Amino acid sequence: MTYTAKIVYDNKTLSLNANDGERLMDVLARAGAGIHAPCGGRGVCGKCLVKVDGAFKSTSESPQGYALACKSYISDDITIYVTSESAEILADVSKTNLITDGEKGLGIAIDIGTTTLAAFLMDLASGEVLASETMLNPQRAHGADVVSRIAFSIENSKNAFVLQNEIQHAVSSLTKSLLIKSGKKGEAVSSYSFAGNTAMMHFLTGKSALGLSAAPFTPEYTLGFSSEFFGANAYFGGCISGYVGSDTLSAMLAAEFHTTKKTLLLIDIGTNGEIALVHKGNILCCSCAAGPAFEGAHITSGTGAVKGAIDHAEIIDGKLAYSTIRNFPASGICGSGLIDLTACLIEEGIISPMGRMSEDYHITENVYLAKKDIREIQLAKAAIAAGIDILISESGISESDIDEVLIAGGFGNFINLENACRIGLLPKSLLSKIRPIGNAAGEGARIALVSKEARANLDMIQSRSRYIELAAHPDFADLYADHLPFESLDE
């Protein structure tokens, strides 16, 4: 039996047929109104709550007139109301003139992040960015992290197709938006360049993510390649390992790892944390599961960088003061706000050096930092800090030998660096050397779009890179444990 499901989303209503017993989350995905589900639809995060009119079946309790989309099922005609989210996504553009191959036409470079996508329409001949556009990754309905999405993709072949279709639909939507925005509507795009973590690139290209699901986490492909895509020529960036992908390679290209004489430490704190260190031309890199907490996953009031998210906090005259994105009423806490809030509560002695809090800390009636959230923050920052220690040790250098610490990604542009050091996320001794570099993965994708030499440089960086599996490193467990506590103020 089929019923009519009306989806009210982005100020428009879409009607479609839904099968009896079909999950609301799957109906929304088919309608292109995918929602945020950090837990991957297991019913434990409660963040896929939607307003509904009509009867439905559910295996989970929800407030009257609402349904948990991952645990509710079609049983009658229904109307589902989805709140549209718009994230503050970094789509900065380097002012540096790019060296191009001189090819005429339009091209699009896209950084496919686990949480967000950033796209750039370029004049291939001049290297000029004609327009930029961002959007939330529609795959968020299948989990906040790549592990959840990999698990979803290998459940059956249909799921793998769903992920590919969602990301390709997003690329199509971005393409149309960029052409309209730039006044190029109706013109053809002749080239694409894609960068993303290894899982995202596998989902985009339709390659199996099975090898990424268990040790030794082997990608189906590693070398960058060109292929036809939407009738255009497309370059798909290579991957260093199962969890260090073409986004990190692109960031290293933008940071000139292939030519620098400096010792550089590059850190991208996204949904998955990647770290790379270049010293005398040799490159070491690693990845760590740090980002989900700072992207809002596993945090009780956590959210992405959306309107109403608390993005900064400080103590003024003994009281907590905070700001929210676009000055909307506080609806949650995003990553930069989480770092500030944690640092403030440590300073006030509300959070102990061991991460204990006597009770949940309320900012508003419904937005608060729960006691259990502190552990998530500790796990995230300890993984990053231990990864940094291991790369420095394996390079045979000390912290003082590092010339610059480059923080890539939008997150790095918005965080308070002093507070990031205060909670132990970044090395306090390197504070004066830390420099945010914006969307380096996106810049690398732009460089690769207009230059075949740049693609050769990506291959060179990849050949010089050695991946270190942190979980298998003999020192990781001890270093990880050492970095779990917060330093006390007298240290």
Longest alpha-carbon distance in the chain: 68
Residue 320 burial by CB count (10 A; 0-12/13-18/19+): exposed, middle or buried? middle
For residues 339, 342, 343, 347, the Cα torsion angle rounded to the nearest 10 degrees is 170
Pull the structure tokens for residue 57: 């079946």
CA–CA distance, 316 with 166 (Å, rounded to integer): 45
Pull the structure tokens for residue 382: 């300890």
Q: Helix 146-153 vs helix 198-205: angle between axes, to the nearest 10 degrees?
A: 30
Residue 419 burial by CB count (10 A; 0-12/13-18/19+): exposed, middle or buried? buried
Label residue 30 left, alpha or beta by phi (over 0 means left) and psi (-120 to 50 means alpha).
Answer: alpha
Q: What is the pLDDT of residue 169?
A: 93
Q: What is the pLDDT of residue 442?
A: 94
What DSSP designation does 488 have? P
Pull the structure tokens for residue 405: 């610490």
CA–CA distance, 361 with 139 (Å, rounded to integer): 32
Pull the structure tokens for residue 384: 């990053």
Render pLDDT for 26-50 as a digit per residue (tens, 0 to 9): 887 777 666 666 666 666 666 777 8
CA-only gyration radius of the chain, Å: 22
Q: What is the side-by-side strand order in the sheet with 12-19? A: 12-19, 2-9, 78-81, 49-53, 66-68
CA–CA distance, 135 with 85 (Å, rounded to integer): 9
CA–CA distance, 124 with 458 (Å, rounded to integer): 19
Pull the structure tokens for residue 352: 């102990």
Give kind and range of the element (H or E) at residue 312.
strand 309-316
Number of H helices, E strands in the chain: 13, 24
Q: Is the Cα dihedral 48, 51, 57, 62 positive or negative?
A: positive
pLDDT, averaged per 10 consecutive residues of the chain (491 residues), comes to 83 82 81 67 70 84 79 86 61 66 95 92 94 89 86 92 94 96 94 97 96 93 96 97 96 96 93 92 91 77 85 92 92 92 95 95 94 94 95 97 92 87 94 93 96 96 96 95 78 45
Q: What is the pLDDT of residue 75?
A: 86
Are 299 and 441 in contact by the 8 Å Cβ rule? The answer is no
- SS3 of 297-365: the string is CCCCCECCCECCEEEEEEEECCEEEEEEHHHCCCCEECHHHHHHHHHHHHHCCCCCCCCCCCCCEECCC
Give kind and range of the element (H or E) at residue 369.
strand 368-369
CA–CA distance, 402 with 50 (Å, rounded to integer): 48
CA–CA distance, 410 with 405 (Å, rounded to integer): 15
Separation of CA 117 from chain center: 9
Q: Is the Cα dihedral 35, 36, 39, 40 positive or negative?
A: positive
Percent of the chain at pLDDT > 90 equals 65
Residues 6+ apart with CB under 8 A from 248: 197, 240, 266, 268, 274, 276, 285, 441
**Residue where the block lists tokens 């470079």:** 109
Q: What is the pLDDT of residue 410?
A: 72
For residues 167, 168, 174, 179, the Cα torsion angle rounded to the nearest 10 degrees is 170
**First and final C-alpha spacing in the chain:** 67
Q: What is the pLDDT of residue 87?
A: 52
Strand segments, DSSP code E, in 39-96 are 49-53, 56-58, 66-68, 72-74, 78-81
pTM: 0.86
